[in-house]
Amino acid sequence: MKRLVKGLALMAAMITVSCVNKGGQEASQLEIMLVTEGAGIEDKSFNASAWRGITGYFGDTPESTKHRGTRYEYINAVTQDQIFNNINIAVDENPRLVMGTGFTFEEPMQRVAVVHPDQKFLLIDAPHGDFENIRAVLFKEHEGAFLVGVVAALQAIEDGVENPKFGFVGGLQGDVITRFELGYIQGVKSILPDAVIEDYYAESWSAADRGKTKAKAWFNNGFYAIFSAAGATGSGVIAEAKEQRMAGKNVWAIGVDSDQYEDGIYLVATGESAVLTSMIKLVENAVSDTLHDLDNDLFTGGTFHYGLLEEGVAFSERNPALSPSVIAQTHAIAERIRLGEIVVLETYAEVNNAGLIPSGLTLS
């Protein structure tokens, strides 16, 4: 038997929740209900990583979701205004865990958590607000972003590029995206102290056209690599990088959250990609850990931090164009971060006091 879960009239999609589990017996509740925003699990980035963690925990893949509707489900808020209502819809399904992805979920999830103290929540990229029923996971994005900044700078040196410029595209400004940008800046400058770095905020997670327009202007002005932490807006940067490389320019996009190598493929026959590397946020590890704790009655609220030491961030080595020397040097630097020999600064004040903030940034 299946029942249709209906949201507000503004909802762009409806979800179907089945009441039969994988063993063919009636299930009293879903294990986890994921609530996303913007491009949802199709963003090929942050939400996709969360969905990969959920499906993988139950033996599925994002391409083969056999247990969707019986063990797990998701609902998407097309706009931020829908988040609060969609969290309530998720809670009404009585799952063991409701998960929200992104700092835009902080306030609405806390509002719902007050009314439903027995419901357990998993909040990614925002603090838990002292709620015992909310587990908040914060990633050390600055550490992962430092690594892709190192990769881009080292690769520019390998390519013999004189005075390379580097760009950063953000979605909405906030603590999380600030950590991405600050880490990237520090990584580039650790290799090229005098490098030109500029930033741009699209004020949207789903404005691919804005990302593409800015990338085109920057690439045409001699920029070597652009790192995006902007959800689907970053797909515009990748699209422009593909066009530029097709035209023979040595420029690169840098992916975020998930390995976006395949999104950057511009020559199918040879698999050449315009995405040099990606800063991978291993949301799936946090999801798997939380579901494991839930299954073993170990779930607790509070804040959990995932960085290089906790296997929460990484960089992609998939592009064959990436120099083996660059990969080896970056791994060596990553190990020094794990050991505490290199400390990646987290806040604007710290990076500014260290004299590492380029002039003219949007970030302040």
Alpha helices of 25-162 — where are they, by DSSP H?
46-57, 83-92, 106-115, 141-158
Does residue 7 register a pLDDT over 80? no
Q: Which percentage of the chain shows pLDDT scores above 70?
A: 92
Helix or strand or coil: residue 41? Answer: helix
Q: Tokens 């315009």 — which residue? A: 274
Instruction: Give the pLDDT confidence score for residue 28 in this predicted structure.
Output: 54
Specify the length of the chain in residues. 364
Token reading at 24: 């063919």
**What domains lie within the chain, and their CATH numbers?**
2-139+283-306 (3.40.50.2300), 141-281+323-353 (3.40.50.2300)
Q: Tokens 């509707």 — which residue? A: 69
Average pLDDT over residues 98-105: 93
Alpha carbon distance 93, 31 (integer Å): 10
Instruction: Give the pLDDT confidence score for residue 26 in this predicted structure.
Output: 42
Does residue 15 register a pLDDT over 80? no
Alpha carbon distance 177, 363 (integer Å): 10
Q: Which residues contact 247 (CB under 8 A, 6 or more apart)?
A: none
Alpha helices of 253-323 — where are they, by DSSP H?
283-295
Q: Closest Cα to residue 176, out of 281, 272, 28, 60? A: 281
Instruction: Give the pLDDT confidence score for residue 25 in this predicted structure.
Output: 38
Token reading at 2: 């299946």
Q: What is the DSSP letter of 253?
A: E
Cβ–Cβ under 8 Å, residues 303 and 312: no
Q: Which residues contact 205 (CB under 8 A, 6 or more apart)?
A: 37, 38, 39, 43, 171, 172, 230, 231, 232, 233
Average pLDDT over residues 166-171: 97
**For residue range 193-227, what is the model confidence (pLDDT) as tens digits?**
999 999 999 999 889 999 999 999 999 999 999 99
59 exposure class (CB count in 10 Å sphere: 0-12, 13-18, 19+): exposed
Instruction: Give the pLDDT confidence score for residue 110 in this predicted structure.
Output: 95
Does residue 21 register a pLDDT over 50? no
Does residue 88 register a pLDDT over 50? yes
Does residue 346 register a pLDDT over 90? yes
Instruction: Give the pLDDT confidence score for residue 67 in this predicted structure.
Output: 97
Q: Tokens 């797990």 — which residue? A: 72
Q: End-to-end distance of the chain based on CA atoms, in angstroms?
A: 54
Alpha helices of 40-105 — where are they, by DSSP H?
46-57, 83-92
Q: What angle do CA 318, 137, 66 make, to 5 degrees?
A: 65
Average pLDDT over residues 113-141: 94
Q: Which segment of 16-25, 90-99, 229-238 scores lowest on mean pLDDT?
A: 16-25
